[in-house]
Amino acid sequence: MTHPRCLRMSKLTLGLVAALAAAPVFAQSTSAGVAGLVTSSAGQPVPNAEVTITHVESGTVSRATTDASGRYNARGLRVGGPYTITINASGAGNTTREGVYLNLDKVNQVDAALGGDLATLGTVQAIAGNYGSAIFSANKMGTGTNVTREEIESLPSINRNLQDYVRLDPRVAQTDKARNEISIAGQNPRYNAIRVDGISTNDAFGLESNSLPTPRQPFSMDVIDEISVDVANYDVTISGGTGGVINAVTKSGTNEFHGSVYGTYRENDWSGKNQNDIRPQLFDRESTYGLTLGGPIVKDKLFFFANYEKYKGKGVFTGNSGFGPTGSGESNMVGITQA
């Protein structure tokens, strides 16, 4: 006879095992990585070199050691930067890379050649690593695009949503402007997957055309740190969308307090007319305002980032045309009376 307490413990153990097994996959979709080859001044690989990776703004430190082939690999790092990477090997020398920025869900490659003395290099552009053949490689699972924080902050977004930014990838097309509907690689918009911090934010009921659970994006663009778009990827850790997988991570605080106050206002009369000299009546007027605040809770260890945003709209277009079959002149809704 199975004791109820033993059964509860078995379920708890099974749940913990499942959570631990999923942890690497979750971390991969919300973080960055860095890898590279460390060589001596003679061009030979340097084993057992100590690699120290420091996130400048938060002071967090990660460490790695090169293997027998002189390669190092560090995962689960914070997206963005700047990072300072210091490589030290006894008898081979030292080197420092400053201003390194890491992309979301990518293993960024930073190689180094050691000399006899400490050498410091300026800003380094980390390159997403594709090891192996330039044509055939086990690391090539598909194509994609990364949108960094700098691009998010500098590029305009009328609708203040992810769809405005993922269209930087030429394989993403807007198929319906009013409903924020996008197609990736020619697939139906409902075949896309959208994740924020590794959590699916897709429309589970199929009621919205923007692949989100609400007509408007349920989170502010001011909390997004970086966006990645994977097009028809074969990587088993990037699943849920045969068209494209849109992955976004939110900001975190640093060792200094930072905040912002923002607001937008627009009216439909400010919009231009279409090719038929008609101005579509999408809304009367709308406004958005909010604030952000981030900083340390425990310096170098624990941080916070908070956001509040309020949206107001009058006469907002819901995406429903109000008509039935083309040319019928009939409404989608008919009057129903109770008998």
- Same structural domain, 309 and 246: no
- Report if residue 299 sits inside a domain: yes
- Same structural domain, 58 and 70: yes
- Report if residue 322 sits inside a domain: yes
Final residue before a domain boundary, out of 180, 215, 250? 250
Q: Sign of the C-alpha dihedral, residues 55, 61, 66, 67?
A: negative
How high is the pLDDT of residue 113? 87
Q: How do residues 39-98 score in pLDDT, each as one tens digit?
A: 988 888 999 999 999 999 999 999 999 999 999 999 999 998 899 999 998 877 788 888
DSSP helix/strand/coil, 196: strand
Residue of 159, 170, 161 whose CA lies nearest to 224:
161
Give the sheet arrangement for strand 61-65, strand by strand.
61-65, 50-55, 80-89, 93-102, 119-125
Final residue before a domain boundary, out of 190, 220, 250? 250
Structure-block tokens of residue 122: 């300026």
Euclidean distance between CA atoms 127 and 262, whole angstroms? 33
Give the sheet arrangement for strand 199-200, strand by strand.
143-147, 224-231, 244-250, 193-196, 199-200
My answer on whether omega of the bond before 280 falls inside 30° of 0, hence cis, is no
- Same structural domain, 114 and 147: no
What CATH number is attached to the domain comprising 90? Answer: 2.60.40.1120
Final residue before a domain boundary, out of 250, 271, 298? 250
What CATH number is attached to the domain comprising 186? Answer: 2.170.130.10
- Report if residue 107 sits inside a domain: yes
How high is the pLDDT of residue 145? 85
Distance of CA 311 to the CA centre of its chain: 23
- Report if residue 14 sits inside a domain: no
8 Å CB contact between 142 and 233: yes
- Same structural domain, 45 and 108: yes
Residue of 180, 160, 191 whose CA lies nearest to 318:
180
- Same structural domain, 278 and 242: no
- Same structural domain, 85 and 168: no
Q: How do residues 189-202 score in pLDDT, each as one tens digit?
A: 888 888 999 888 88
The amino acid that residue 91 corresponds to is: G
How high is the pLDDT of residue 241? 75
- Report if residue 91 sits inside a domain: yes
DSSP helix/strand/coil, 8: helix
- Same structural domain, 244 and 263: no
- Same structural domain, 86 and 153: no
Euclidean distance between CA atoms 249 and 81, whole angstroms? 14
How high is the pLDDT of residue 289? 93
DSSP helix/strand/coil, 252: coil
The amino acid that residue 263 corresponds to is: G
- Report if residue 22 sits inside a domain: no
Residue of 239, 186, 158, 208 whose CA lies nearest to 320:
208
Q: How many domains does the chain have?
A: 3
- Report if residue 15 sits inside a domain: no
- Same structural domain, 270 and 220: no
How high is the pLDDT of residue 20? 40
- Same structural domain, 223 and 288: no
**Main-chain dihedrals φ then ψ at residue 74, nearest 5 degrees:** -130, 130
8 Å CB contact between 182 and 171: no
- Report if residue 207 sits inside a domain: yes
Euclidean distance between CA atoms 88 and 117, whole angstroms? 10
- Same structural domain, 243 and 260: no
- Same structural domain, 204 and 268: no
Of how many residues is the chain composed? 339
Say what the pTM is: 0.70
Give the residue numbers spanning the domain of 168.
Answer: 141-250
Task: Flag residues of the chain having pLDDT under 70.
Answer: 1-28, 116-142, 233-239, 316-339
